[in-house]
Chain A
């Protein structure tokens, strides 16, 4: 029998309280379905509207980052290109964690790492100023995103963003990002 570690994967994901996990192509229609499902799932667990909205927002930003910026692309039957990556939403005792991973060309690592470091060290007021400065910059022509996602995610979280880069092959590295959302004051239910 050849089950590809199914039991171990299932066991591990259950033990780690994974609400949602996806590895594959982040095409826009899939993002819409997953984000909508995630919203329902979190709403069933919390009466904190802001917790639900922030997890949703972070999920969308991370998914669209993968869609636009992952170095690994797949082309669908209509010729539309979308990025490949992994995204995991998990529950902890007092917070939720949204994590994304995708390949990035090594040439970009230093620049993105620096940006992550800057953002992870900023307090709320500094993030607000930085966000509004960056939003005033012209769009970069090669990107459809505004490049604001990272700052926006950090602003929605009560904790510093976490990030790391691991070598993947000669050309690319695996970029990981985690954002935590505090559960806040849950009403007993």
Chain B
């Protein structure tokens, strides 16, 4: 059975909260660790388990203030998987891209991830 996954935020990795019953993943903080693949593969594994075993509605919240280019490739991979889930289980996924209201770079990066995808994604500024 799939379990909740909680990873505490560190200096170089975001906090992760993945909750089975609520169907929610939250990624909050910044990433400049040296091994993006190792870190994000944990999130991808949980995502794949949820979408194949639970097959329920899932909302994914990104609240990132910085991530390096290596992490950006991992996040794109996650977006691709979210878009695939949207295809196979129409409407079963929603993405929320939270950004600091004056951070145009993070907002633009969110839009570039979602470019060409038709799943529901909302951009939410916070102060």
Chain A interface residues toward B at CB < 8 A: 28, 31-32, 35-36, 49-50, 53-54, 56-57, 60-61, 64, 67-68, 128, 132, 135-136, 139, 144-146, 148-149, 152, 156
Cβ-closest chain B residue relative to A152? B69
Interchain Cβ contacts under 8 Å between A and B, 14 examples = A28-B33, A28-B34, A53-B103, A53-B105, A60-B66, A60-B68, A61-B69, A64-B34, A132-B112, A135-B69, A145-B69, A148-B70, A149-B68, A149-B69
Whether A50 contacts B103 by the Cβ 8 Å rule is yes
Cβ-closest chain A residue relative to B106? A53
Residues of A within 8 A of B35 (CB): 144
Whether A54 contacts B105 by the Cβ 8 Å rule is yes
| Interface contact tally, CB-CB below 8 A | 66
Determine the distance from Cα of A68 to Cα of B36 in the docked complex, in whole angstroms. 13
Interface membership of B59, Cβ < 8 A: no
Number of interface residues of B (CB under 8 A): 23
Whether A145 contacts B76 by the Cβ 8 Å rule is no
Whether B69 contacts A50 by the Cβ 8 Å rule is no
Residues of B within 8 A of A68 (CB): 34
Whether A53 contacts B69 by the Cβ 8 Å rule is no
- Known: A67-B34, A128-B112, A144-B35. Is A32-B72 also a contact (CB below 8 A)? no
Determine the distance from Cα of A74 to Cα of B44 in the docked complex, in whole angstroms. 33
Q: What distance in Å separates the Cβ of B2 from its nearest Cβ neighbour in chain A?
A: 28
A32 interface neighbour in B12, B76, B112, Cβ under 8 Å: B12
Determine the distance from Cα of A50 to Cα of B102 in the docked complex, in whole angstroms. 8
Whether A135 contacts B34 by the Cβ 8 Å rule is no
Whether B112 contacts A146 by the Cβ 8 Å rule is no
Q: Per DSSP, are chain A's interface residues mostly helix, strand or loop, or mixed?
A: helix
Residues of A within 8 A of B112 (CB): 128, 132
Known: A50-B105, A61-B68. 13 other contacts (CB 8 A): A28-B12, A28-B33, A32-B12, A35-B32, A49-B102, A50-B103, A50-B104, A64-B32, A64-B68, A135-B73, A148-B69, A148-B73, A149-B69
Smallest CB-CB A-B distances: 10 pairs:
A148-B69, A146-B73, A28-B34, A146-B70, A60-B32, A146-B69, A152-B69, A149-B69, A145-B70, A60-B68
Chain B residues 54 to 86 lying within 8 A of chain A, measured CB to CB, are 65-66, 68-70, 72-73, 76
- Known: A128-B112, A144-B35. Is A49-B103 also a contact (CB below 8 A)? yes
Most buried by B among A128, A145, A146: A146
- Known: A32-B32, A132-B115. Is A156-B103 also a contact (CB below 8 A)? no
Residues of A within 8 A of B34 (CB): 28, 64, 67-68, 144
Residues of A within 8 A of B102 (CB): 49-50
Q: What distance in Å separates the Cβ of A168 from its nearest Cβ neighbour in chain B?
A: 26
